[in-house]
Amino acid sequence: MWNIKAFEANIEATIATARRRGLASNCDFERLVTLIARRRELASARDEINRQRNELSKASAGGGANEQAKALRSRVNNIHDQLKEAEQDFMDLVSGLPNLVHASVPAGTSESDNIIVHTWGTPRQFEFPVRDHVALGQSLGILDLARGANLAASGFPSLKGSGAMLSRQMISFMIDQQTRRGYVEIEPPFVCNRKAFFGTGQLPKFEQELYWTEGGTLGLVPTAEVPLTNLHSGEIIEESLLPLKYTAYTPCFRREAGTYGRDTRGIIRVHQFSKVELVKLTTPEQSYAELETMVDDAENILRLLKIPFRRVLLCAGDIGFSAAKTYDIEAWFPSQNRYREVSSVSNCEDFQALRANLRFRHNGGKPRFLHTLNGSGLAVGRVWASLLENCQENDGSVQIPEVLVDYLQGLRVIRPSSAPA
């Protein structure tokens, strides 16, 4: 909420959301309320002085009137400075508050409170010991964690041979599928400025989790959500053009990877990974219908690859900072005997639009703020890992899903002999 009047109208809902998210103790609502009251007081004083100035200007011009006008001008300038300071303090505080949570989001404090919406596919029953994607990738000669770490650091994996080709062609496959469903492919910059990061909610809260160029003016994208959502920042879009649907591949860079004490083995949680992103800009009236179709667009990739998955509705305590409602799509990992996230699909309502100044106009009327949606379509590395595990054979080879065979130049099986040393 990026104006004070909007915040005042929603302050009770904002406090309730903070409590639902388990963040109430981290939010200084008392100071926010004080700043709002201070702004009202200053704005009222400014308006009163301006009223007096207007009355004075109608009076006869004399020396005394000129002195009065000068004094009033000095007072209104002083109040203006105080008002500007109060509003900046307000903006600094409110910029760290998360989005409101949609009424359909379940209560809860962690992933254990999330709700499974549905599952697709039946996990394969293996008649031999299952290997994880690390053991498979290394035995096939297509995953090189040691050399990646030697080149950069832990969390920067290296793929090679058939593994690198599989990853590259999975990106093409995912992009092709989404453009067939009406998304426009974009090749965005892989860095964005601070304004763009603020627009999507990465700043100021997540500054330390981003990789910055020297001087801190540009940051490496943690997801293509940042450039795609900000693509029309400052513009007014005609409603007849909505929804706008974009897809893009980018490498993604995140510092927080590996800090949770889990998932440090392999490529499940890393600092650099490839991802195909989906973004929609639409009207408030259509955004929740668009959310459901976006989830299906992402899930379709797993259906075509024949990888079992499930859809999960996140609870209030597990939902992301900018999201009003989120579904996670989780693919099956046989080695862990569990589903793991490969996509989060969210409706951010007007939270990002207010920050990034994204608006639309209906039939020449007053501009309104858009609703923004985003989701992975999908996280390439995690799907790569799930594919290896689900398609492995007893001899350590990996069968290629039929929909990828043409992308991989007819390759149907990855064997140790098909990967370079």
Q: Enumerate the active-site residues.
A: 254, 269, 341, 344, 382
Q: Could you tell me how far CA 210 lies from the centroid of its own chain?
A: 13
How would you class 116 by CB atoms within 10 Å of its CB: exposed for 0-12, middle for 13-18, buried for 19 or more? exposed
Write out 19-37 in H/E/C secondary structure.
HHCCCHHHCCHHHHHHHHH
Give the span between the Cα atoms of 280 and 360, in whole angstroms. 13
Residue (of 330, 305, 323, 329) closest to 390 by Cα position: 305
- Provide long-range contacts, Cβ within 8 A and 24+ apart, for 288-291: 288/325, 288/347, 290/243, 290/347, 290/371, 290/373, 291/325, 291/327, 291/345, 291/346, 291/347, 291/373
Cβ burial 104-115 (10 Å sphere, 16+ → b, else e): ebbebeeeeebe
Reduce the DSSP state of residue 149 to 3 states and report it: helix
Give the span between the Cα atoms of 369 and 1, in whole angstroms. 11
CB atoms within 10 A of CB 378: 28
Tokens of 55: 């009355």
CB atoms within 10 A of CB 382: 25
Give the span between the Cα atoms of 329 and 313, in whole angstroms. 9
Tokens of 77: 């300038």
Kindly list the distances between the CA atom of residue 252 and the CA atoms of 41, 120, 249, in Å, as whole numbers in the listed order.
46, 28, 9
DSSP 322: T
Please report where in the chains the tokens 């290896």 appear, as a residue. 388
Q: Strands 244-253 and 272-282: what pairing?
A: antiparallel
Please report where in the chains the tokens 């099986």 appear, as a residue. 413
